[in-house]
Structure 1
Amino acid sequence: MGSESAVQRRQRAQHLGPERRRPQVLDTALAIAVDNGIAAVTMAAIAERMNVTRPVVYACFADRVELIEALIQREESYLVDGLLEVLPARDVDAGETVFIEGFRALLEQAADRPDAWRLLYGNPDPAVADSFGRGRKLAVERCTTLLRPTLRAWGTEDADRKLAALVELWVSAGEGAVRTLLTGEGGWDPQSLGTFVGAAVYRALRNA
């Protein structure tokens, strides 16, 4: 009975079509990558976890290389789009509230799609590391644009010399906050952790 049911599910899966099936294949690949690493993502592993035949997976992607590239591009786009929302490309009135709201927004995004962040943080696969590098470069560029006029408005001594170091502190604090949230240590939620880290970063930059 169980075998017959499995066969029926596989047959139904084949009727969904590649376009509707692709997001499901990528979701499954992401789950495997987070659990066991990129090396564990194979067409066979995906088919097994989805309880479909391999041809169903191959109908969506020609091979493993194409599938991995599509996965990385999709997850990277979530990361980059999230950073663009959190770090607008314009000057802001950088008071403590702005920093708190920014960190809260970042952590809400991480909480909404934790596996995307887990995939791109600290993964040994070079392609994934490169993707995270592009996202980080964007964050550094945006934070530099935002912080340069703010330091001058605050009257920070030797602001131009300190700028790069303070941007690194800001970006690293965001990375650390995401890691803390995803590990679950301390029982933080995005709002409370964002408030704590945002206020701490603001005070550090304001008093530099």
Structure 2
Amino acid sequence: MGVTRRARTAYAPRMAPEQRREQLLDAVLRVIVEQGAHKVSIDTVARTAGVSRPVVYGLFDDSEQLLRASLDREEAAALQQVSDAIPRLDTEDPVDAVLTALGNFLDAVQSAPERWRAVFTLVDSSTPAFRRRVDRGRQALILTFEEFVAASLTAERRTEVDVELCARALHSLFWDNGRLVLAEPETFPPQRVLTFARTVVAALPAFTR
């Protein structure tokens, strides 16, 4: 007498809808970092999350909605991390204030490496919509630096110092070193960056006396 065996179907463990949504958005982020935003699809996200396609379709209509939801989440989280680091800027000792903020920023980048790898990837993307998302945050950061630099100067010195270029120099210092500590953490640890940054910041026209 033959015995019929049925292949078992693997089912994803049950989760509350909000938990499942976060799991899927985490999977989208991994796809962006490992394969590029153009590879985000229902299939790739389902495979990455270890679930079936119907599970994904239960929460998202299509890959565009998936990608948009992931970018919305990561953009909000990245902006919050930057906001938490930068407001500590003050004018009591501007060089120390910048270094403290830079240290906070590097900590934020290292605490959420996939998020920031995606951010740095998207800013180099050939897709204008992706670049615009990142650019909003970068412009907000530059504006914060402009306000800080202006507040660090006396009224007389504001006519002597190019506030906008000083702000952009600070932005480059933060942004480029954020990339470095992720890409080559052993070669460029935060302490090495901060030691070098002290010399650079102190030499900016805004902070020389």
Q: TM-score, normalised by structure 1?
A: 0.85
CA displacement, residues 154-182 of structure 1 (integer Å, 9 cap, x when unaligned)? 946613xx111111111111111111111
Tell me what 1:34 maps to: 33
What is the SS of the residue equivalent to 2:92?
coil
2:91/2:151 contact within 8 Å kept? no
1:33/1:40 contact within 8 Å kept? yes
CA displacement, residues 99-152 of structure 1 (integer Å, 9 cap, x when unaligned)? 211111000000011221221222333232111101011101111111102132
Tell me what 2:100 maps to: 101
Once the two structures are TM-superposed, the CA of residue 49 in structure 1 deviates from its matched residue by: 1.8
What is the SS of the residue equivalent to 2:61?
coil
What is the SS of the residue equivalent to 2:143?
helix
Q: Does 1:169 align with 2:169?
A: yes
Tell me what 2:142 maps to: 140
Letter of the structure 1 residue corresponding to residue 94 of structure 2:
G
Q: Does 1:149 align with 2:148?
A: no
What is the SS of the residue equivalent to 2:65?
helix
Higher helix proportion: 1
1:111/1:190 contact within 8 Å kept? no
What is the SS of the residue equivalent to 1:61?
coil
**Highest relative contact order (Cα 8 Å, sep 6+), 1 or 2?**
1
Q: Does 1:178 align with 2:178?
A: yes
Tell me what 1:115 maps to: 114
What is the SS of the residue equivalent to 1:88?
helix
* Separation in structure 1 between the aligned mates of residue 140 and residue 88 of structure 2, nearest angstrom: 11
Letter of the structure 2 residue corresponding to residue 16 of structure 1:
M
Once the two structures are TM-superposed, the CA of residue 81 in structure 1 deviates from its matched residue by: 0.8
Q: TM-score, normalised by structure 2?
A: 0.85
CA distance 1:154–1:36, shift in 2 (3 Å): farther
% same residue: 23
Tell me what 2:83 maps to: 84
Tell me what 2:4 maps to: none
Tell me what 2:24 maps to: 25
The runs of 5 or more residues in structure 1 that have no matched partner are: none
2:99/2:198 contact within 8 Å kept? yes
Q: Does 1:62 align with 2:64?
A: no
* Separation in structure 2 between the aligned mates of residue 92 and residue 111 of structure 1, nearest angstrom: 27
* Separation in structure 2 between the aligned mates of residue 94 and residue 157 of structure 1, nearest angstrom: 21
Letter of the structure 2 residue corresponding to residue 112 of structure 1:
S
* Separation in structure 1 between the aligned mates of residue 114 and residue 19 of structure 2, nearest angstrom: 21
Query: Which structure 1 residue ranges, 4+ long, deviate > 4 Å from structure 2?
Result: 153-157
* Of 146-155 and 36-45, the range deviating more from structure 2: 146-155
Between structure 1 and structure 2, the one with the greater Rg is 2
